[in-house]
């Protein structure tokens, strides 16, 4: 059992507050991804769990035990670093066995464990090499192996894939996920890449400026973001945000956009009348509607990506993205009319950025 | 490539000419001339042309007891001082890097002052430290009861050698410290942290991670330092003149005395040549067995 509980964590570097009142529970065997823009405090949080960064206020519990003052070596966790941090003077085998040696394992035990991990990761033929003689992907695997060999109860990953090329990154993503399913240790994974977060996580923790913006399973965050930040952070191309005001057209409430067009929103409630809002619509929820589409835009760029085609057009000085099937793709400078699907409309308060619908 | 050596050989020759001249006149010529002189009877006291004498100078040298003493003393003093300087420089660097981080730049600057102290000052300083009547060392030894009366350390054969070692080591610690510190700073914090998570305590981290990683740097520094010690003669010349009973007679001083006290340039050249070969052998040993190539990319 190695659930992780973070309660009221604070951290500041000099006058800069990096983490402000962080509360988070990570369940045993969960794969939890911390994601956010650089400088949001996600790495600091991970390093605090690892014990590499001192806790200034609040508590960290691993497996029900407070570990605030425990040294990293006693926390039974392993970490995969961004730069892999392999020991350059040691062979792959020595790299893998170092932690076992330091924890005074018996020689034959070390041998079997290293062999097993090497087989799992396909490193058995590389055991005699040094990190300098390995490719990026192989080094990444050694770093993973070094973390696995001790059977830790918690795995920490600090942007482990950011040094790999795109193809390897996708491959390693699946591999890490697969390993997690086999090993089943609690994992905390830091990344700034929302695709990595979406594809790997059981639960995503979105952070910004030292606070947690929202926590939840990937698709739930994608469909029901709590605020503008979460909505824009997840999804590519990013969500369209159109300024407008909640008004009534006499019968029903809706949003009047800057160009005067009216879009009716079924779930809207009357207390919201007259509030300035941002209407969020994801590209796949904007459909081309040549007759009735309320949003009239001019096509700027058409991006075919194979399966889907993205159309970026201009609407009142703002870029607006939508997704179409490639047979129906318009041409550059075409005038198109777009209409949001009913279930695809999210409304955010313009000043606070909080979701209202 | 605009120019190729084959197409424009004179252009390339002109480019390396200044460097070739400097190296040729200032380094190669004296070395070759020295080796040449060692086979002659060169001396400013002798009139007439140089006479070629074959290996006579060398035969004489290898039959001279003082020569053997000086080879032995030099090896002992240089080896011990270099080793001590590396160890202490490394320890201070560790202290600065992992310990007193806050004052590290100030402390580093202070320690480095020793590096700019002229050898003559080192000589006077350590001469006084070990002085029989007023020396600090004697004061401490009698004050703590280690000895009953003041000792004349400089007139003791082993004592005098250790005074040399103390002076050499002291003067070289800053250099080694700066090199070791640079080595320590070149190790990424991620690696140190990884070893922390792997469970290495401070001492095993130093033994298993840090020393192997900066070992090449330390070895090169050690070599540079020993070559410098091989050449250094201010301390023995001024403090002990090689005594007592040749205990601090080092190769540099021995050669100097042959040349400028006995005015036997030829014999001095022979000693110098032996000395050159000796340094080359030592350097080869250090580079061959001290430097690990395997993890250099």
Mutate to test the interface with B, among A54, A71, A85 (most CBs of B within 10 A): A85
> What was the pLDDT predicted at A356?
87
Evaluate whether residue A301 is within a structural domain.
yes
- Measured between beta carbons, the chain A residues lying within 8 angstroms of B195 are 87, 98
Binned at pLDDT 50, 70 and 90, residue B297 comes out as: very low
Q: Tell me which residue range forms the domain holding A272.
A: 240-349
Distances (CA, A) of B105 to A244, B101, B111, B114, B189: 58, 8, 10, 15, 19
Evaluate whether residue A356 is within a structural domain.
no
d(CA A322, CA A316): 16
d(CA B129, CA B137): 6
- Give, for A233, the enclosing helix (H) or strand (E): helix A228-233
Binned at pLDDT 50, 70 and 90, residue B210 comes out as: very high
Evaluate whether residue A357 is within a structural domain.
no
- Number of residues in chain A: 357
A49 touches chain B (CB under 8 A): no
Angle ∠(A95,A98,A101) on CA atoms, nearest 5: 155
Q: Which residues touch B224 (CB under 8 Å, ≥6 apart)? A: none
Distances (CA, A) of B102 to A31, A81, A305, B98, B196: 39, 27, 54, 10, 22
> What was the pLDDT predicted at B156?
82
DSSP state letters, chain B: ----TTT-HHHHHHHHHHHHHHHIIIIIHHHHHHHHHTTBT--TT--SS--B-TTHHHHHHHT-HHHHHHHHHHHHHHHHHHHHHHHHHHHHHHIIIII-GGGHHHHHHHHHHGGGS-HHHHHHHHHHHT-TTT-HHHHHHHHTTS-SS---GGGSHHHHHHHHHHHHHHHHHHHHHHHHHHHHHHS-HHHHHHHHHTT--HHHIIIIIIHHHHHHHHHHHHHHHHHHHHH--HHIIIIITT-STTTT--HHHHHHHHHHTS--HHHHHHHHHHHHHHHHHHHHHIIIII---TT--
| Same domain (yes/no): A26, A99 | yes
Residue that finishes a domain, picked among A233, A255, A277: A233
| Same domain (yes/no): A79, A158 | yes
| Same domain (yes/no): A318, A275 | yes
- Give, for A61, the enclosing helix (H) or strand (E): strand A57-62
Angle ∠(B288,B289,B293) on CA atoms, nearest 5: 75
A170 CA: distance to closest CA in chain B (Å)? 24
> What was the pLDDT predicted at B195?
93
3-state class (DSSP) for residue A149: coil
Q: How many CB atoms lie within 10 A of CB A25?
A: 14
> What was the pLDDT predicted at A1?
64
d(CA B114, CA A136): 45
Would you say residue A187 has pLDDT above 90? yes
| Stretch B134-159: mean pLDDT | 83
Tally of domains within chain A:
2
| Same domain (yes/no): A125, A67 | yes
CATH number at residue A335: 2.40.50.140
Residue that finishes a domain, picked among A181, A210, A233: A233
CATH numbers and ranges of domains, chain B: 66-290 (1.10.3720.10)
d(CA B244, CA B39): 32
* Percent of chain B surpassing pLDDT 90: 26
d(CA B101, CA B111): 15
CATH number at residue A31: 3.40.50.300
A64 CA: distance to closest CA in chain B (Å)? 20
Q: What is the mean pLDDT of chain B?
A: 86
- Measured between beta carbons, the chain B residues lying within 8 angstroms of A98 are 195, 198, 200, 208
Q: Please judge whether B191 and A89 are an interchain contact, meaning their C-beta atoms are less than 8 angstroms apart.
A: no
d(CA B271, CA B68): 11
Distances (CA, A) of A105 to A55, A108, B165, B191: 31, 9, 44, 22
| Same domain (yes/no): A218, A254 | no
d(CA B239, CA B71): 19
* Cβ contacts from A onto B, under 8 A: 69
Q: Which residues pair with A299 in a beta bridge?
A: A313
Distances (CA, A) of B164 to A146, B88, B154, B269: 49, 16, 10, 25
B136 touches chain A (CB under 8 A): no
Q: Please judge whether B197 and A72 are an interchain contact, meaning their C-beta atoms are less than 8 angstroms apart.
A: yes
B207 CA: distance to closest CA in chain A (Å)? 12
Report which DSSP code applies to A353: -
Q: Please judge whether A132 and B197 are an interchain contact, meaning their C-beta atoms are less than 8 angstroms apart.
A: no
Residue that finishes a domain, picked among A192, A209, A233: A233
B198 touches chain A (CB under 8 A): yes
**For residues A89 and B294, is the Cβ–Cβ distance under 8 A?**
yes
A5 touches chain B (CB under 8 A): no
CA atoms within 13 A on the CB side of B108: 21
Binned at pLDDT 50, 70 and 90, residue B296 comes out as: very low
**For residues A181 and A202, is the Cβ–Cβ distance under 8 A?**
no
| Same domain (yes/no): A197, A309 | no
Would you say residue B47 has pLDDT above 80? no
- Report the chain A residue with the minimal C-alpha distance to residue B297: A132
| Same domain (yes/no): A277, A292 | yes
> What was the pLDDT predicted at B136?
87
| Same domain (yes/no): A119, A218 | yes
- What's the pLDDT tens digit per position in B254-264? 889 888 888 88
> What was the pLDDT predicted at A342?
85
Q: Report pTM.
A: 0.81
- What's the pLDDT tens digit per position in B222-240? 998 888 888 888 888 888 8
Evaluate whether residue A355 is within a structural domain.
no
Phi, psi of B29 (to 5 degrees): -60, -50
- What's the pLDDT tens digit per position in A224-273? 999 999 999 998 889 999 999 888 877 788 888 888 888 888 777 777 77
Write out the two tokens for B181.
Answer: 């510190």
Q: Which residues pair with B276 in a beta bridge?
A: none
A128 touches chain B (CB under 8 A): no
Q: Positive or negative CA dihedral for B116, B118, B124, B130? A: positive
> What was the pLDDT predicted at A289?
87
| Same domain (yes/no): A189, A249 | no
| Same domain (yes/no): A19, A142 | yes
Q: Please judge whether A99 and B295 are an interchain contact, meaning their C-beta atoms are less than 8 angstroms apart.
A: no
| Stretch B167-193: mean pLDDT | 90
Evaluate whether residue A137 is within a structural domain.
yes
d(CA B277, CA B17): 28
* Percent of chain A surpassing pLDDT 70: 100
> Which among A133, A145, A138, A65 has a CA at the least distance from the CA of A99?
A145
Higher pLDDT, A175 or A272: A175
| Same domain (yes/no): A249, A221 | no
> Which among A330, A263, A88, A66 has a CA at the least distance from the CA of B210?
A88
Q: How many CB atoms lie within 10 A of CB A86?
A: 24
Evaluate whether residue A354 is within a structural domain.
no
| Stretch B99-113: mean pLDDT | 79
> What was the pLDDT predicted at B2?
65
**For residues A6 and A23, is the Cβ–Cβ distance under 8 A?**
yes
| Stretch A168-188: mean pLDDT | 90
ipTM higher than 0.85? no
Q: Is B264 left (phi over 0), alpha (psi -120 to 50) or beta?
A: beta
**For residues B51 and B136, is the Cβ–Cβ distance under 8 A?**
no
Would you say residue B68 has pLDDT above 70? yes
- Measured between beta carbons, the chain B residues lying within 8 angstroms of A86 are 191, 194
Q: Please state whether the peptide bond connecting residue B244 to the residue before it is cis, i.e. omega within 30 degrees of 0.
A: yes
Restricting to B residues 210-229, those with a Cβ less than 8 Å away from any Cβ of A are 212-213
| Same domain (yes/no): A249, A226 | no
Would you say residue B292 has pLDDT above 50? yes
Report which DSSP code applies to A282: -
Query: What is the bridge-based pairing of β-strands A345-349 and A276-281?
Result: antiparallel
């Amino acid at each position: 059992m190695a659930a992780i509980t973070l309660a009221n964590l604070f951290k500041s570097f000099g006058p800069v507050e990096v983490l402000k009142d962080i509360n988070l529970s990570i369940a045993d065997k969960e794969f939890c991804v911390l994601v956010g823009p650089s400088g949001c405090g996600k790495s600091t949080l991970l390093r605090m769990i690892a014990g590499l960064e001192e806790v200034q206020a609040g508590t960290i519990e691993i497996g029900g035990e407070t570990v605030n003052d425990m040294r990293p070596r006693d926390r039974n966790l392993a970490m995969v670093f961004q730069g892999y941090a392999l020991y350059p003077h040691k062979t792959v085998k020595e790299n893998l066995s170092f932690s076992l040696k330091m924890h005074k394992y018996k020689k034959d035990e070390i041998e079997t464990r290293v062999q097993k991990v090497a087989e799992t990761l396909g490193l058995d033929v590389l055991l005699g090499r040094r990190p300098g003689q390995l490719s990026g992907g192989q080094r990444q695997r050694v770093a993973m192996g070094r973390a696995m060999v001790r059977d830790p109860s918690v795995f920490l990953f600090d942007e482990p894939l950011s040094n790999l090329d795109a193809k390897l990154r996708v491959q390693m993503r699946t591999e890490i996920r697969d390993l997690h399913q086999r090993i089943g240790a609690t994992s905390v994974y830091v990344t700034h890449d929302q695709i990595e977060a979406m594809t790997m996580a059981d639960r995503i923790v979105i952070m910004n400026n030292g606070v947690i913006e929202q926590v939840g399973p990937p698709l739930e965050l994608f469909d029901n973001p709590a605020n503008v930040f979460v909505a824009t952070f997840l999804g590519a191309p990013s969500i369209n945000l159109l300024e407008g005001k909640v008004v009534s057209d006499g019968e029903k409430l809706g949003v009047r956009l800057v160009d005067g067009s009216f879009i009716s929103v079924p779930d809207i409630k009357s207390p919201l009348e007259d509030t300035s809002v941002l209407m969020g619509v994801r590209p796949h929820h904007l459909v081309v509607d040549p007759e009735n589409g309320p949003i009239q835009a001019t096509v700027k760029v058409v991006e075919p990506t194979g399966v889907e085609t993205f159309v970026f057009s201009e609407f009142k000085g703002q870029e607006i993205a939508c997704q179409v099937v490639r047979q129906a793709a318009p041409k550059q400078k075409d005038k198109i009319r777009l209409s949001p699907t009913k279930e695809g409309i999210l409304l955010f308060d313009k000043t606070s950025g909080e979701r209202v619908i | 490539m605009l120019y190729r050596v084959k197409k424009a050989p004179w252009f390339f020759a002109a480019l390396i000419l200044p460097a070739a001249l400097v190296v040729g006149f200032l380094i190669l010529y004296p070395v070759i001339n020295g080796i040449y002189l060692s086979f002659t009877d060169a001396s400013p006291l002798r009139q007439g042309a140089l006479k070629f004498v074959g290996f006579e100078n060398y035969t004489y040298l290898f039959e001279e007891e003082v020569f053997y003493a000086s080879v032995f003393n030099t090896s002992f003093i240089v080896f011990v001082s270099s080793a001590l300087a590396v160890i202490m420089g490394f320890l201070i660097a560790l202290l600065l890097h992992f310990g007193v981080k806050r004052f590290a730049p100030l402390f580093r600057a202070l320690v480095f002052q020793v590096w700019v102290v002229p050898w003559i000052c080192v000589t006077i300083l350590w001469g006084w430290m070990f002085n029989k009547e007023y020396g600090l060392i004697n004061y401490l030894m009698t004050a703590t009861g280690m000895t009953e009366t003041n000792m004349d350390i400089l007139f003791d054969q082993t004592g005098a050698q250790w005074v040399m070692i103390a002076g050499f080591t002291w003067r070289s610690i800053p250099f080694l410290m700066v090199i070791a510190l640079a080595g320590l700073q070149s190790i990424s914090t991620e690696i140190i942290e990884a070893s922390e998570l792997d469970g290495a305590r401070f001492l095993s981290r130093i033994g298993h991670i840090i020393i192997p990683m900066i070992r090449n740097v330390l070895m090169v520094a050690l070599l540079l330092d020993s070559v410098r010690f091989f050449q250094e003669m201010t301390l023995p010349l001024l403090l002990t003149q090689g005594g007592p009973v040749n205990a601090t007679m080092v190769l540099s001083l021995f050669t100097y005395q042959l040349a400028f006290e006995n005015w036997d340039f030829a014999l001095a050249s022979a000693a110098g040549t032996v000395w050159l070969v000796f340094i080359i052998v030592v350097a080869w040993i250090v580079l061959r067995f001290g430097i690990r190539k395997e993890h250099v990319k």
